[in-house]
């Protein structure tokens, strides 16, 4: 009986050590994932979500926790992009108004979507984004606004709503869709496209998705603080790197990331 306190202390020390290692892994992976995402225009879930699943979270809980953490990605990126005046109010309003209802809808139908089939379809589409961008050497290299008339904004909004549904119901890569759509349809360059995606998708879309899933009790709250800190710092660092690099480098990073995300989703 005299050894019982020592046994308890040893057990507590071991549990605490495992918890610290767990948090360090979460911080490192989240920082890298969100830095890459803020630089290239999406794909934070490529690294962050699988780690949450590997550490034992059910899919719904991992997705909700991931989305809540990436809200900080939007905050970190917005703090950096705000200084460069890369954000335009008409696109801010359109992406929020058109996308958020789609996100909420997607978050509420996620349980009815076959995960493997959805991931496979999303992987093929994401891979196609990278190939398409690579085959268009001038795409997104210059800022040439277009389709800003009412009809163009309506079509653009309907597509953003559809992407929002995917964002609310699927794992990763949908931010990459938003970036390319803003570049292709509205004529933004990659730097402006990434800026809008990171701020609006990271902050508003993922925030809405996290709220919809969080109301169902699907968030691992004890991991949230470290994930938020890592996402905030990663978002700021990635946005800073993106601004410093220019459209040529951002375009290449976007194409590489979309191909990697697409292949990962296809092979599961």
- Total domains in the fold of the chain: 1
Helices 59-81 and 206-214: crossing angle in degrees, nearest 10, is 150
* Dihedral class, residue 144 (left if φ above 0, else alpha if ψ from -120 to 50, else beta): beta
Is residue 72 a part of any domain in this protein?
Answer: yes
Look at residue 5 and tell me if it is in a domain. Answer: no
| Positions of E strands within the chain | none
First to last CA, the chain: 51
Tell me the C-alpha distance between 104 and 167, whole Å.
Answer: 9
- How distant, in Å, are the alpha carbons of 32, 61, 64, 153, 233 from that of 159? 29, 28, 24, 10, 31
Residue 229 lies in a domain: yes
Using the structure block, give the residue that is written with the tokens 């931010």: 175
In a domain, 6, yes or no: no
Domain extent at residue 224: 27-267
198 belongs to a structural domain:
yes
Q: Which two tokens stand for residue 56?
A: 């034992």
pTM of the model: 0.77
Among candidate residues 189, 266, 255, 241, the one with its CA nearest the CA of residue 42: 255
Give domain status of residue 16, yes or no. Answer: no
Question: What are the tens digits of pLDDT across the range 16-53?
Answer: 566 778 888 889 888 988 888 888 777 777 678 777 87
Alpha-carbon torsion 106, 111, 115, 117, what sign? negative
Tokens of 21: 């290692």
Q: Is residue 10, in this structure, part of any structural domain at all?
A: no
Distance between CA atoms of residues 169 and 173, nearest Å? 12
Provide the residue-wise pLDDT of the chain in tens; the chain has 268 residues.
Answer: 444 554 444 544 455 566 778 888 889 888 988 888 888 777 777 678 777 877 778 777 887 788 888 888 888 888 777 776 767 888 888 888 988 888 888 777 765 666 666 667 777 877 888 888 888 888 888 888 899 999 999 999 999 998 888 777 665 667 788 888 999 999 998 888 888 888 788 778 878 777 776 766 678 888 888 989 998 898 888 888 888 887 888 888 888 887 887 787 788 6
Query: Per the domain annotation, does 63 fall within a domain?
Result: yes
């Amino acid at each position: 009986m005299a050894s019982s306190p020592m046994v308890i202390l040893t057990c507590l020390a071991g549990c605490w050590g495992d918890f610290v290692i767990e948090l360090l892994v979460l911080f490192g992976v989240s920082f890298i994932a969100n830095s890459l995402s803020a630089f290239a225009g999406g794909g934070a879930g490529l690294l962050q979500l699988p780690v949450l699943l590997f550490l034992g979270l059910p899919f719904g809980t991992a997705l909700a926790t991931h989305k809540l953490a990436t809200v900080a990605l939007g905050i970190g990126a917005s703090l950096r992009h705000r200084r460069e005046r890369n954000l335009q109010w008409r696109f801010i309003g359109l992406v929020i108004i058109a996308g958020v209802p789609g996100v909420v809808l997607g978050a509420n139908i996620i349980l009815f979507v076959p995960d493997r089939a959805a991931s496979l379809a999303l992987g093929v589409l994401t891979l196609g984004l990278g190939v398409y961008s690579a085959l268009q050497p001038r795409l997104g290299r210059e800022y040439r606004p277009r389709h800003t008339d009412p009809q163009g904004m309506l079509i653009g909004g309907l597509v953003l709503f559809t992407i929002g549904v995917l964002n609310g119901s699927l794992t990763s890569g949908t931010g990459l869709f938003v970036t390319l759509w803003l570049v292709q349809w509205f004529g933004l360059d990659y730097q402006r496209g990434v800026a809008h995606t990171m701020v609006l998708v990271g902050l508003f879309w993922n925030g809405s998705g996290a709220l919809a899933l969080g109301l169902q009790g699907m968030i691992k709250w004890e991991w949230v603080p470290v994930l938020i800190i890592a996402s905030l710092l990663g978002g700021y660092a990635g946005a800073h790197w993106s601004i410093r690099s220019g459209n040529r480098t951002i375009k290449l990073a976007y194409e590489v990331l979309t191909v990697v995300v697409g292949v990962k989703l296809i092979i599961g």
